[in-house]
């Protein structure tokens, strides 16, 4: 089931779409097939999510299984008032951290395994967008040990993969956030 994030601008936000058999039957007049389930498992098909919803998904891993309700108003409330447990087991949270870190260390975003930033975790994504070019995604949280920030980059109809197009965008945001950048000779490819 898709739902809004809870951001104070709820009227401006899309609830997204997590399709299921009743939705497909009602909307398209077609039966749900195994290919639909396979597409959903990798974030393809009819699935729709906003960058803020994807950031919320990464925040679950960053916050050890807690869903964070995003908000834009400065307040004096404690952070626990803006989060809810999803009751994930410790082993599930550990697997999330490990898998998302491995994307950086030996997966589709190894170009982001840089020494000048704190250890971080993330995931690439490439979403089909027929009839045009694919969308590129990358989401990350940092530092892994005590996350402070979640970053999601989305490149609409870029035609490139998440690791080649969106991940470098996220890297620049993380460098700006942590006040660090590549040494000049590395930035120029020397």
Class of domain 49-180: alpha beta
pTM above 0.85, yes or no: no
Tens-place pLDDT, residues 98-117: 999 999 999 999 999 999 99
Rounded CA-CA distance 124/163 in Å is: 5
Six-digit token string for 2: 């898709």
* 142 CB-contact burial (10 Å; exposed 0-12 / middle 13-18 / buried 19+): buried
pLDDT tens across 40-98, in order? 888 788 888 888 888 988 999 999 999 887 776 666 666 667 788 999 999 999 999 99
């Amino acid at each position: 089931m898709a739902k809004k994030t809870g951001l104070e601008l709820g009227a401006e936000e899309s609830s997204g779409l997590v399709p299921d058999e009743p939705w497909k039957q009602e909307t398209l007049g077609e039966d749900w097939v195994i290919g639909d389930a396979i597409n959903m498992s990798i974030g393809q098909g009819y699935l729709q999510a906003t960058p803020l919803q994807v950031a919320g998904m990464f925040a679950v891993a960053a916050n050890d299984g807690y869903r964070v309700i995003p908000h834009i108003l400065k307040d004096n409330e404690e952070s626990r008032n803006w989060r809810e447990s999803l009751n994930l087991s410790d082993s599930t949270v550990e697997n999330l951290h490990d898998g998302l870190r491995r994307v950086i260390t030996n997966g589709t975003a190894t170009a982001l395994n840089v020494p000048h930033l704190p250890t971080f975790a993330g995931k690439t994504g490439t979403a089909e967008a027929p009839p045009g070019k694919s969308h590129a995604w990358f989401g990350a949280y940092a530092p892994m040990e005590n996350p402070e920030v979640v970053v999601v980059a989305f490149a609409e109809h870029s035609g490139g993969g998440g690791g080649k197009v969106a991940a470098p965008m996220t890297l620049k945001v993380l460098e700006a956030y942590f006040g660090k950048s590549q040494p000049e000779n590395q930035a120029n490819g020397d």
